[in-house]
Amino acid sequence: MSVTAASGFRAAGVAAGLKSTGALDVALIVNDGPLSAAAGVFTVNRAKANPVLWSEQALQTGSARAVILNSGGANCFTGAFGFQTTHQTAERVAEHLQIGAIDVQVCSTGLIGTGDETFRQGVLAGVDAAAAALVASDAAGLRAAQAIMTTDSVAKQAVATGTGFRVGGMAKGAGMLAPGLATMLVVITTDAVAESEVLDRALRAATRVTFDRLDSDGCMSTNDTVLLLASGASGASADEAELTAAVTAVCDDLAEQLQLDAEGASHDITIEVRSAATEDDAVTVARSVARSNLFKAAIFGNDPNWGRVLAAIGTTDAVFDPYAVDVTFNGVRLCHAGTPDRPRDEVDLTPRATHIGIDLFAGDATASIRTNDLTHDYVHENSAYAS
């Protein structure tokens, strides 16, 4: 179950011809209320796509009744024409639902720098078809999740339950996964009774420890958007801590699914930093390893090269003594106090799941970053993306 798991929401996924394959490419999520509270986080890339520029402004009201999403075109660096397309898309959704265009969030994903009248008319036709297909069902939620896929191999959905309320979500993303925030297109729904300020705090707390710690390839997209909508249809006034926990659970589930579907990956790597002086230090150290192409290439080759870990963390400004650090690969401590420990051949890196442990002995803070290895398939997929 996905975005329709929470009561008060309908969804649709249709094929509008934006993809040459004829696959589903336009999704619509509608909040039937009674509430329309909403919050969002967006890419901090200075190069923002037109839908992000629109949605950031529209969401300042703290309200959203619908989210329209298309795959097959990012609508980024398409000039005034592109922003007009976004505006017209929101207006077309608003006409069907008899709401204001400002209550419509717009999301796009696909190739940057492409967009013409054919694309615009395809998106608008997709809006018409999706509005006619809206249903509050698991099947409709799945179709919506499938419609936002680009290089994804599977649709990504998640659900969590609280006291009298539910939280559902869908996501797309398989490449350009790096914190911005966010890291992809995500729509999260809840039928809890909550104000937009509460949703904003819950979403930011959740994304900080989930999507913001997924660093697949260090590349930040222009279209990244994570939205949280509340219908209030359950009638349950959610405790903020419990709502935050449920939203975090959905975000964490989706983040893991995104990691597992990373383009061309053969290893799903968790880099856990322990005994750091601060949580920020732990994140900085873990991210330095996640962004080391030398480390990622070694993992692809099943080589437990712990020297590349130490070389990466030595570039940070985190507080620690590099000659007091321990490093483990899948539970085998290969480095103790900056010197060799167990033999490398004791480490088995053939399983897909890979855990790297780094003990800094500088404090009691901990944090983990999710990443993946660098493979031939990743290079091939991204060299042929526009063809």
Catalytic residues, which ones? Answer: 183
CA neighbours closer than 13 Å in the CB half-sphere of residue 15? 7
Instruction: List the structure tokens of 311.
Output: 């070389």
Buried b (16+ CB within 10 A) or exposed e, 235-271: ebebebebbbbbbbbbbbbbbbbbbbbbbbbbbbbbb
The position carrying tokens 């069902």 is: 137
The separation between CA 348 and the C-alpha centre of its own chain, rounded to angstroms, equals: 30
The answer to whether 166 and 190 are in contact (CB under 8 A) is yes
Distance CA 344, CA 66 (A): 53
- DSSP 3-state assignment of 83? helix
What percent of the chain is helix, strand and coil (3-state, nearest 5)?
35, 25, 40
CA-based torsion, 302, 307, 308, 313: positive or negative: positive
CA neighbours closer than 13 Å in the CB half-sphere of residue 10? 12
